[in-house]
Structure 1
């Protein structure tokens, strides 16, 4: 039985195997000689030792910094002066603590630094220890930044590595210099250290065996999480499409298609019943479809960005249009899924396909010139190294990706856990969001290489150089109303980078900024304490406002942003109707199996 045909013609197939037996990707320069296999094998082997970080990239950054520092005697004098002033300030602080009961600190931690908030750090000698550390940390920041001639990228790399080394040597991480650990050890006669040793052995055994962290077994998809009722109504080699069962007698006429990021499993948007965005939408009368991505392996190395568009977004749109005929579609893209959805919207606009009713982007970037601290790991040297690792494996492993994300927030994701679980001997209570975060997926070689080169490094999409099906696409062609959500403390998609969606020419844009990070800010159900957001609408054709003035002009509103977005969806609706059928068997979309399907369970 014939299915609706996608507007993007199928790509030529490619045989499985090593990259040197594959046709070059459409974006590659074909007359450049491929690197010798021996070079790639050496880089891949080194990557297993260096955590996928290119030694050459680090060396280039440090050479750039060191050479420019060497020829900047004014900078020497400045950092020497700062060292003397900090030493004098610390000496005065030490003297005052010997004679006064309450002495204000000589330096305060950064607002996001929670390591020294306990009262135990305010007593001698631990007040001196942590103040000396913070002064030293500040001095190294001054020394690694502000040197004329150093490229901004190299400066960021050097400063980042210095910060990581300092975090490693923080007094919090050692028994003798951490008063909380010393107090616990005295109080428990050392049993906390014994429990910590047992925790370490257990975690190491699970890591070696390739098992997920302890606690994830309490959040299994289809059992405790991802349990909103639905059916898989379409499957291909890359996706399953889930249609969720209606929960109301009447539903909004326009269905919703959600495109999640494929770097993680889809169910961050369908976590536990109390914080499931899918359940929230279904309970308010929306017909919701969700893409669940296949977890790639070495046999999927040939999948590229066009394949993700054709087999992913466009195939899903065809299915939704067949199941809910005669209706336009509200589309939602999260993170990478939002970037891919933007590409699809631009392509559909170019070929005059008007099936989209609206487009919502959740923490999704379209311009990558200010893409946050992830750009620390993106330059020509690093990408060449990473490509060779992926060429050898056929994919980028989830452990290799997780390491980079953990380094960006080493305070919270590495060292605080080391102290809590190995020195204090406790076990943190696992949450559904933490379990989801540990359930990562792999990235196929060709797609990830193309994504990093063309989007992160060259910014081809925002510049109008990106080609799909051999034709360049422009985000400026999009006329679909846009609702863009950013989060205040996002280290993956910084909010000012997401805000650049306002720079494309003609769409009607509603921009919303909520508190929280890349994940927790999106999973912001009504009733979640401490939530607030700012929102403003910019009609098509009105002047641009810069992000700093936008924040000043739009006061914060307490509460979850979900109701505000759902109200916006209702404004772009054509009314209520009877729920559509689950699937459309006569059109080739039968009910294959209950949600969450099989792709989400792939390891």
Structure 2
């Protein structure tokens, strides 16, 4: 009888020992990755730099795949993170996916602002930088029409440019996780709209707003997930014998922010405080940015779980443009998941390709 009752205990003890050994092994691997694993290589799609202005560079991506679509794509990215999230690894790269499907792809990399750039603002970026980059694309591609793809703040900047520059014709615009209406921006509204959040004092103190300040502001929108959850997810992946490669890629990008040029930061936070863009009160060098001037074909992508740019902030653009051809698609992902990861590769990329193929001028031949 005693033998009958001892077997379950022995089995439980054995399972506990195996679980403990597995957890110990996992934790050792976890520490090793965090402490000493080399940072993964990113941005591997071949490219040429075809134009420069100050710190900014214009990339023209190269591929052995023939270009079959006449209208080139200009990608405009945010100012506060490095744009390699769109080309982070061959297996999850929106850039590579587009060039491999015959699109002619360009991207503006804004570079890293330094102290001499503290007065850099959307005035210069929208009215000086982008027009020159677009002129170079038109010259290079021999097309008088282009597509602009904007991710996050890059889409907001793209909307400002297109509203003020009808030529060359911006035939198509894609907005991925792009804030347009800043009235209700989740937790961002909660703290930015506080009177104590003195944007002028921040800019006047720093000149160039440090990347640590920017990253902390973003992380605090979801602190448990950003400070603890990200590392617990790594532990879980290792425990389940999954490759940590995707985690390492995304973690590299998240922790690789850029400082924010002071005057551009002042204007950006001003949108959260006043919502002037949709009110037709936002000015660049005395010119009102009227989104109703945009009549391009529009595709807007939002993430149901995006806490940085709420889906309704992005979808709001539909109500302010004059475009007749406009589409909104929402996916069950967060901010980064629209361009990185399995859902992006399986669902978002094909949706972008299908939409673009119908609006990119047909085959070059």
Scaled by the length of structure 1, what TM-score is found? 0.52
1:444 pairs, out of 250, 253, 261, with 261
Paired with 1:387 and 1:567, the residues of 2 have a C-alpha distance of 44
Native 8 Å contact 1:304 1:450 kept in 2: yes
Give the stretch that moved more between structures: 254-263 or 467-476: 467-476
Runs of 4+, deviation exceeding 6 Å: 418-422
- Secondary structure of 1:235's counterpart equals strand
Match of residue 276 from structure 2:
460
Native 8 Å contact 1:373 1:408 kept in 2: yes
2:38 matches 1:217: yes
Q: How does 1:159-198 map to 2 (within 5 A)?
A: 187=20
Give the stretch that moved more between structures: 468-477 or 404-413: 404-413
- Report how far residue 311 of structure 1 moved: 4.0
2:299 pairs, out of 470, 477, 483, with 483
- Specify every segment of 5 or more residues in structure 2 that has no aligned partner in the other structure, as ranges: 1-15
Paired with 1:450 and 1:479, the residues of 2 have a C-alpha distance of 25
2:362 matches 1:575: yes
2:69 matches 1:252: yes
Paired with 1:265 and 1:216, the residues of 2 have a C-alpha distance of 21
Native 8 Å contact 1:246 1:286 kept in 2: no
- Report how far residue 377 of structure 1 moved: 2.4
- Secondary structure of 2:197's counterpart equals helix
Match of residue 118 from structure 2:
301
Higher strand share: 2
Native 8 Å contact 2:176 2:338 kept in 1: no
C-alpha spacing 1:312/1:362, structure 2 compared with 1 (3 Å): farther
- Report how far residue 248 of structure 1 moved: 2.2
Match of residue 12 from structure 2:
none
Paired with 2:125 and 2:114, the residues of 1 have a C-alpha distance of 15
2:61 matches 1:239: no
- Secondary structure of 1:267's counterpart equals helix
Q: How does 1:121-140 map to 2 (within 5 A)?
A: none
Match of residue 178 from structure 1:
none
Match of residue 271 from structure 1:
88
- Report how far residue 380 of structure 1 moved: 5.1
Match of residue 435 from structure 1:
252
1:368 pairs, out of 182, 201, 220, with 182
- Secondary structure of 1:295's counterpart equals coil
Q: How does 1:306-317 map to 2 (within 5 A)?
A: 306-317=123-134
- Secondary structure of 1:381's counterpart equals coil
Higher-Rg member (1/2): 1
Deviations 1:81-100 (A, max 9, x none): xxxxxxxxxxxxxxxxxxxx
Native 8 Å contact 1:299 1:394 kept in 2: no
1:499 pairs, out of 312, 315, 318, with 315
Paired with 1:569 and 1:418, the residues of 2 have a C-alpha distance of 37
Paired with 1:509 and 1:215, the residues of 2 have a C-alpha distance of 48
Q: How does 1:484-563 map to 2 (within 5 A)?
A: 484-507=300-323, 508-524=325-341, 528=342, 531=343, 559-563=346-350
- Report how far residue 437 of structure 1 moved: 1.2
- Report how far residue 416 of structure 1 moved: 3.7
C-alpha spacing 1:388/1:283, structure 2 compared with 1 (3 Å): same
- Report how far residue 337 of structure 1 moved: 0.3
Paired with 1:246 and 1:418, the residues of 2 have a C-alpha distance of 36
Paired with 1:216 and 1:297, the residues of 2 have a C-alpha distance of 30
Match of residue 140 from structure 2:
323
Match of residue 282 from structure 1:
99
Native 8 Å contact 1:297 1:394 kept in 2: no
Paired with 1:279 and 1:304, the residues of 2 have a C-alpha distance of 31
- Report how far residue 511 of structure 1 moved: 0.8
Match of residue 171 from structure 2:
357
Match of residue 122 from structure 1:
none
Match of residue 383 from structure 1:
197
- Secondary structure of 2:338's counterpart equals coil
C-alpha spacing 1:443/1:576, structure 2 compared with 1 (3 Å): same
- Specify every segment of 5 or more residues in structure 1 that has no aligned partner in the other structure, as ranges: 1-182, 204-212, 533-557, 579-603
**How large is the Cα RMSD of the aligned pairs?**
3.2
- Report how far residue 357 of structure 1 moved: 1.3
Match of residue 469 from structure 1:
285
